Amino acid sequence: MSDQAEKKQVVLTGGAAVTAIIPTDFDQVWKFARYALVGGFVPASLTNKKNGDEATAAAAIAIMSGAELGLKPLMALRSIAVINGRPALYGDGIMAVVRQSGIAKDIKRGTKLVDGKHVGFCTATRKDTGETLTVEFTQDEATRAGLWDDRPEVDNMVWGEQRGQKVKQGTKKNDSPWYRYGPRMLMWRATHWCLRDLFADVLAGVMDETEATEVIANSEPAIVEQQAQLSPPSPPAEEPEEAEVEETATEAQGAAQAETRPDGPPSPPDEADEPAGLDYGLIFSAFESALAEAKDEGDVEQAWADADFEQLFADDEDSMATAMDMKLRRLLAFHPANAG
């Protein structure tokens, strides 16, 4: 090799600092979101069944929500989940936000055994005020909350023929994260509560994805129960006078309708509350099987898209709530805090 060729060689050096690309205006955020979407770096749980500009908008909003918490764009896409229209952070996302804020002086967390039972704990200290907070979440508390279940097998509840009803059909393997990673789940719950209480100014009310999922899953039955309580009571059967008055009013109303209605057979009763031809047991069992086969969040979203519950249960809020609860509980199994 000649001396001239050696002089033209470029010397490569390593060790330079690597920095993230940070958008500075909305146009850059939109372009970044578009590139991330095309490159397959946007989780299916964010885009759901959205396409085109709708999917890009969902990714862009996640990036901007993360920016408010100090997260870089790709970290925001990895850490933010949207639960019922509100942003929530996966377990490691909350830790990242608090550590990057520069306000946390120290965070210690772990598990311990107290009287033969597991206890998750977290102790954190603020650098600016010196405040220290310790939060524990015990196995007994998880049991009372209906989270802890140490049975290796649980009842296998399958959907019956009637809407919204499940019947027992043998047993199945307990695949709950609270069974598989019980002590770890206790630690994460204690960590989330500790960081949210001590660093409320940093997290700005953002919940962790696990708890947000549980809140949504547990809120639907309460709403249904409240609506049932507000329904007016039926008139008492032991008062014949009121019954006779009601019967007379009904007859008068029927006579008035007969005068105004043209000749022909009577209209069939409204069956909107009970759609004809739907086999709820088959529908929910098929969805449950698809969720059981899901390997990641993308598979869960694909199973949801294939079921097309928005169209199938467009006028059936109870069944839609049941399907959403099944989806959220399966997504919970893929929570990053549950891994390993």
Residue whose C-alpha is closest to residue 44's, from 93, 86, 94, 82 = 82
pLDDT tens, the chain, 340 aa long: 555 555 566 566 666 677 778 888 899 999 999 999 888 888 877 777 778 888 899 889 889 988 888 888 988 888 888 777 777 887 678 888 899 889 999 999 999 999 999 999 999 999 999 999 999 999 999 999 888 888 888 777 666 655 556 666 677 888 888 888 889 999 999 998 999 899 998 888 787 777 777 665 555 433 333 333 444 445 455 554 554 445 555 555 555 454 444 454 444 444 444 445 677 777 877 787 788 777 777 777 888 888 888 788 777 777 777 777 778 777 766 654 544 3
Q: Could you report the per-residue pLDDT of 247-292, keeping only the tens digit for each?
A: 555 555 555 454 444 454 444 444 444 445 677 777 877 787 788 7
CA distance 250 to 6: 105
Q: Where are the domains of the chain?
A: 20-90
In tens, the pLDDT along 179-234 reads: 888 899 999 999 989 998 999 988 887 877 777 776 655 554 333 333 334 444 45
Amino acid letter, 238: E
Report residue 227 CA to chain centroid gap.
23
Pairing verdict, β 117-126 and 132-138: antiparallel
Tell me the C-alpha distance between 205 and 188, whole Å: 17
CB within 8 A of 175, min separation 6: which ones?
A: 333
Instruction: Identify the bridge partners of residue 111 per DSSP, sorted by sequence position.
Output: 120
If you ran DSSP here, which 8-state letter would residue 156 be given?
A: E
- Put simply, whether the predicted model's pTM sits higher than 0.85 gets the answer no
Residue 51: CB partners within 8 Å, gap ≥ 6?
none
